[in-house]
Structure 1
Amino acid sequence: MAVVQIFGVKGSQATRAAERFFKERRIDIQLIDLKVKPMAAGEIRRFIQRFGLTGLLDTESKAYVDAGLKYIQQSETQLLARIEKEPKLLRLPLVRCGQTVCIGQDDAGWKAIASGA
Protein backbone atom coordinates (compact mmCIF):
# COMPACT_ATOMS: atom_id res chain seq x y z
CA MET A 1 0.00 0.00 0.00
CA ALA A 2 1.34 3.40 -0.99
CA VAL A 3 2.04 6.11 1.56
CA VAL A 4 0.16 9.37 1.11
CA GLN A 5 2.31 12.47 1.50
CA ILE A 6 0.61 15.55 2.91
CA PHE A 7 2.50 18.81 2.56
CA GLY A 8 1.01 21.42 4.86
CA VAL A 9 1.34 23.47 8.01
CA LYS A 10 0.54 21.88 11.38
CA GLY A 11 -1.78 24.71 12.45
CA SER A 12 -3.76 24.70 9.19
CA GLN A 13 -7.35 23.52 9.44
CA ALA A 14 -7.25 22.14 5.88
CA THR A 15 -4.05 20.20 6.60
CA ARG A 16 -5.65 18.67 9.69
CA ALA A 17 -8.72 17.75 7.62
CA ALA A 18 -6.56 15.86 5.09
CA GLU A 19 -4.68 14.12 7.87
CA ARG A 20 -7.95 13.08 9.54
CA PHE A 21 -9.48 11.93 6.21
CA PHE A 22 -6.68 9.46 5.49
CA LYS A 23 -6.24 8.31 9.09
CA GLU A 24 -9.96 7.50 9.34
CA ARG A 25 -9.48 5.22 6.33
CA ARG A 26 -6.39 3.63 7.91
CA ILE A 27 -4.13 4.85 5.12
CA ASP A 28 -0.50 5.46 6.01
CA ILE A 29 0.46 9.12 5.74
CA GLN A 30 3.63 11.11 5.86
CA LEU A 31 2.95 14.64 7.06
CA ILE A 32 5.56 17.18 5.97
CA ASP A 33 5.28 20.43 7.92
CA LEU A 34 6.40 23.09 5.46
CA LYS A 35 7.36 25.44 8.28
CA VAL A 36 9.92 22.89 9.44
CA LYS A 37 11.05 21.45 6.10
CA PRO A 38 10.41 23.26 2.80
CA MET A 39 9.35 21.27 -0.25
CA ALA A 40 12.03 20.11 -2.63
CA ALA A 41 12.09 21.88 -5.98
CA GLY A 42 11.18 18.61 -7.75
CA GLU A 43 8.08 18.20 -5.59
CA ILE A 44 6.97 21.76 -6.28
CA ARG A 45 7.47 21.19 -10.02
CA ARG A 46 5.25 18.09 -9.90
CA PHE A 47 2.37 20.19 -8.56
CA ILE A 48 3.13 23.08 -10.94
CA GLN A 49 3.00 20.73 -13.94
CA ARG A 50 -0.50 19.69 -12.96
CA PHE A 51 -2.02 22.94 -11.65
CA GLY A 52 0.30 25.73 -12.79
CA LEU A 53 2.07 28.07 -10.38
CA THR A 54 -0.89 30.41 -10.08
CA GLY A 55 -3.14 27.43 -9.34
CA LEU A 56 -1.00 26.62 -6.31
CA LEU A 57 -1.23 30.11 -4.84
CA ASP A 58 -3.96 30.91 -2.33
CA THR A 59 -4.80 34.36 -3.67
CA GLU A 60 -7.37 34.90 -0.91
CA SER A 61 -5.02 34.13 1.99
CA LYS A 62 -3.86 36.75 4.47
CA ALA A 63 -0.23 35.85 3.66
CA TYR A 64 -0.81 36.55 -0.05
CA VAL A 65 -2.50 39.90 0.59
CA ASP A 66 0.06 40.95 3.24
CA ALA A 67 2.91 40.14 0.84
CA GLY A 68 1.36 42.54 -1.68
CA LEU A 69 1.29 39.87 -4.37
CA LYS A 70 -2.04 41.13 -5.74
CA TYR A 71 -0.24 44.24 -6.90
CA ILE A 72 3.32 43.08 -7.59
CA GLN A 73 4.36 41.30 -10.78
CA GLN A 74 6.98 38.65 -10.07
CA SER A 75 8.74 36.07 -12.16
CA GLU A 76 8.14 32.39 -11.57
CA THR A 77 11.60 32.11 -9.97
CA GLN A 78 10.82 34.93 -7.54
CA LEU A 79 7.45 33.38 -6.65
CA LEU A 80 9.05 29.99 -6.04
CA ALA A 81 11.59 31.60 -3.70
CA ARG A 82 8.73 33.31 -1.79
CA ILE A 83 6.79 30.04 -1.56
CA GLU A 84 9.80 28.32 0.00
CA LYS A 85 10.01 31.04 2.66
CA GLU A 86 6.26 31.38 3.25
CA PRO A 87 4.29 28.15 2.68
CA LYS A 88 1.04 29.86 3.70
CA LEU A 89 1.00 31.40 0.21
CA LEU A 90 0.01 27.95 -1.08
CA ARG A 91 -3.44 26.41 -1.23
CA LEU A 92 -2.79 23.84 1.47
CA PRO A 93 -2.61 20.96 1.85
CA LEU A 94 -0.75 19.55 -1.11
CA VAL A 95 -1.41 15.81 -1.21
CA ARG A 96 0.53 13.28 -3.25
CA CYS A 97 0.33 9.53 -3.65
CA GLY A 98 2.37 8.11 -6.50
CA GLN A 99 1.59 10.21 -9.58
CA THR A 100 -1.73 11.52 -8.20
CA VAL A 101 -1.63 15.02 -6.73
CA CYS A 102 -4.32 17.23 -5.15
CA ILE A 103 -4.30 20.76 -3.77
CA GLY A 104 -6.47 22.34 -1.13
CA GLN A 105 -9.42 20.61 0.46
CA ASP A 106 -10.23 18.33 -2.47
CA ASP A 107 -12.54 15.60 -1.15
CA ALA A 108 -13.03 14.02 -4.59
CA GLY A 109 -9.27 13.87 -5.15
CA TRP A 110 -8.69 12.45 -1.68
CA LYS A 111 -11.32 9.76 -2.30
CA ALA A 112 -9.62 8.86 -5.58
CA ILE A 113 -6.31 8.52 -3.75
CA ALA A 114 -7.92 6.47 -0.97
CA SER A 115 -9.52 4.08 -3.44
CA GLY A 116 -6.18 3.49 -5.17
CA ALA A 117 -3.96 3.45 -2.07
Structure 2
Amino acid sequence: MNIQIFGKPKCFDTKKAERYFKERGVKYQLIDLTQKGMSKGEYNSIKQSVGGWQELFDENAKDQNLVALIKYLAEEDREEKLLENQKLICTPIVRNGKIATVGYKPEIWKTWDKL
Protein backbone atom coordinates (compact mmCIF):
# COMPACT_ATOMS: atom_id res chain seq x y z
CA MET A 1 0.00 0.00 0.00
CA ASN A 2 1.11 3.53 -0.79
CA ILE A 3 -0.87 5.64 1.69
CA GLN A 4 -0.91 9.43 1.60
CA ILE A 5 -2.78 11.46 4.19
CA PHE A 6 -3.59 15.05 3.25
CA GLY A 7 -4.53 16.88 6.42
CA LYS A 8 -4.12 19.76 8.80
CA PRO A 9 -2.02 19.50 11.98
CA LYS A 10 -4.83 20.64 14.29
CA CYS A 11 -7.49 18.41 12.70
CA PHE A 12 -8.73 15.71 15.08
CA ASP A 13 -9.75 13.36 12.23
CA THR A 14 -6.32 13.71 10.60
CA LYS A 15 -4.70 12.63 13.88
CA LYS A 16 -7.11 9.68 14.11
CA ALA A 17 -6.22 8.62 10.55
CA GLU A 18 -2.50 8.78 11.36
CA ARG A 19 -3.05 6.70 14.49
CA TYR A 20 -5.12 4.15 12.53
CA PHE A 21 -2.28 3.43 10.10
CA LYS A 22 0.46 3.71 12.73
CA GLU A 23 -1.24 1.10 14.97
CA ARG A 24 -1.39 -1.32 12.05
CA GLY A 25 2.23 -0.77 11.05
CA VAL A 26 1.28 0.69 7.67
CA LYS A 27 3.72 3.26 6.32
CA TYR A 28 2.13 6.49 5.21
CA GLN A 29 3.12 9.94 4.03
CA LEU A 30 1.53 12.96 5.72
CA ILE A 31 1.06 16.04 3.58
CA ASP A 32 0.24 19.18 5.57
CA LEU A 33 -2.34 21.12 3.57
CA THR A 34 -1.58 24.30 5.51
CA GLN A 35 2.11 24.21 4.55
CA LYS A 36 2.48 22.36 1.25
CA GLY A 37 -0.96 21.75 -0.16
CA MET A 38 -1.69 19.52 -3.10
CA SER A 39 -0.77 20.04 -6.70
CA LYS A 40 -3.41 20.51 -9.38
CA GLY A 41 -2.75 16.96 -10.63
CA GLU A 42 -3.19 15.48 -7.14
CA TYR A 43 -6.32 17.56 -6.64
CA ASN A 44 -7.83 16.38 -9.94
CA SER A 45 -7.01 12.74 -9.19
CA ILE A 46 -8.56 12.92 -5.72
CA LYS A 47 -11.56 14.89 -6.96
CA GLN A 48 -12.27 12.24 -9.56
CA SER A 49 -11.88 9.43 -7.01
CA VAL A 50 -14.24 10.92 -4.40
CA GLY A 51 -16.94 12.08 -6.79
CA GLY A 52 -16.34 15.76 -7.43
CA TRP A 53 -15.06 18.93 -5.82
CA GLN A 54 -18.24 19.25 -3.75
CA GLU A 55 -17.14 16.22 -1.70
CA LEU A 56 -13.90 18.04 -0.83
CA PHE A 57 -15.51 21.35 0.12
CA ASP A 58 -15.83 21.96 3.88
CA GLU A 59 -18.86 24.20 4.40
CA ASN A 60 -18.04 24.37 8.13
CA ALA A 61 -14.56 25.83 7.67
CA LYS A 62 -13.50 28.65 9.98
CA ASP A 63 -13.34 31.25 7.20
CA GLN A 64 -17.08 31.58 6.56
CA ASN A 65 -16.56 34.64 4.35
CA LEU A 66 -14.52 32.51 1.94
CA VAL A 67 -17.09 29.70 2.16
CA ALA A 68 -19.81 32.20 1.19
CA LEU A 69 -17.69 33.51 -1.68
CA ILE A 70 -17.23 30.03 -3.13
CA LYS A 71 -20.95 29.29 -2.81
CA TYR A 72 -21.84 32.41 -4.80
CA LEU A 73 -19.17 32.20 -7.49
CA ALA A 74 -20.05 31.02 -10.96
CA GLU A 75 -19.89 27.22 -11.20
CA GLU A 76 -16.81 27.28 -13.44
CA ASP A 77 -14.86 29.44 -10.94
CA ARG A 78 -15.61 27.53 -7.72
CA GLU A 79 -13.15 24.71 -8.26
CA GLU A 80 -10.25 27.05 -9.00
CA LYS A 81 -11.00 29.08 -5.86
CA LEU A 82 -11.11 25.90 -3.77
CA LEU A 83 -7.74 24.80 -5.14
CA GLU A 84 -6.29 28.24 -4.30
CA ASN A 85 -7.72 28.10 -0.76
CA GLN A 86 -7.02 24.56 0.39
CA LYS A 87 -7.88 25.46 3.98
CA LEU A 88 -11.49 24.93 2.82
CA ILE A 89 -10.85 21.29 1.93
CA CYS A 90 -12.26 18.62 4.25
CA THR A 91 -9.67 16.53 5.99
CA PRO A 92 -8.29 14.02 6.15
CA ILE A 93 -8.06 12.93 2.57
CA VAL A 94 -6.52 9.46 2.54
CA ARG A 95 -5.27 8.14 -0.77
CA ASN A 96 -4.01 4.74 -1.80
CA GLY A 97 -2.96 5.02 -5.44
CA LYS A 98 -6.01 6.15 -7.39
CA ILE A 99 -8.46 5.37 -4.57
CA ALA A 100 -9.24 8.13 -2.07
CA THR A 101 -11.57 8.89 0.82
CA VAL A 102 -12.54 12.12 2.54
CA GLY A 103 -12.89 12.04 6.31
CA TYR A 104 -12.21 9.28 8.82
CA LYS A 105 -13.25 6.06 7.04
CA PRO A 106 -11.56 3.00 8.62
CA GLU A 107 -14.29 0.71 7.27
CA ILE A 108 -13.07 1.52 3.75
CA TRP A 109 -9.35 1.52 4.60
CA LYS A 110 -9.68 -2.06 5.92
CA THR A 111 -10.53 -3.23 2.41
CA TRP A 112 -7.40 -1.68 0.92
CA ASP A 113 -5.06 -4.42 2.16
CA LYS A 114 -6.94 -6.79 -0.16
CA LEU A 115 -6.10 -4.73 -3.26
> Same fold, TM exceeding 0.5?
yes
Residues 7-54 of structure 1 deviation map (CA, whole Å, 9 limit, x = unaligned): 111111111111111001000010000111120111100121122011
Opposite residue 110 of structure 1, the aligned amino acid is W
Opposite residue 53 of structure 2, the aligned amino acid is L
CA RMSD of aligned residues (A): 2.0
Q: Which residue does the alignment assign to 1:7?
A: 6
Opposite residue 116 of structure 1, the aligned amino acid is K
User: Structure 1 CA distance, aligned partners of 2:82 and 2:27?
Assistant: 27
Residues 54-112 of structure 1 deviation map (CA, whole Å, 9 limit, x = unaligned): 1110122223x231247522444x43443344323111111111222111122222222
Unaligned 5+ segments in structure 1 are: none
| SS of corresponding position for 1:31 | strand
Q: Which residue does the alignment assign to 1:20?
A: 19
Unaligned 5+ segments in structure 2 are: none
Report the more deviating stretch, 89-98 or 22-31. Answer: 89-98
> Does 1:104 pair with 2:99?
no
TM-score by length of 1: 0.82
* Residue pair 2:6, 2:92 contacting (<8 A) in 1 also: yes
User: Structure 1 CA distance, aligned partners of 2:71 and 2:3?
Assistant: 36
| SS of corresponding position for 2:13 | helix
User: Structure 2 CA distance, aligned partners of 1:21 and 1:28?
Assistant: 11
Aligned length: 113
> Does 1:116 pair with 2:114?
yes
| SS of corresponding position for 1:61 | coil
User: Structure 2 CA distance, aligned partners of 1:94 and 1:58?
Assistant: 12
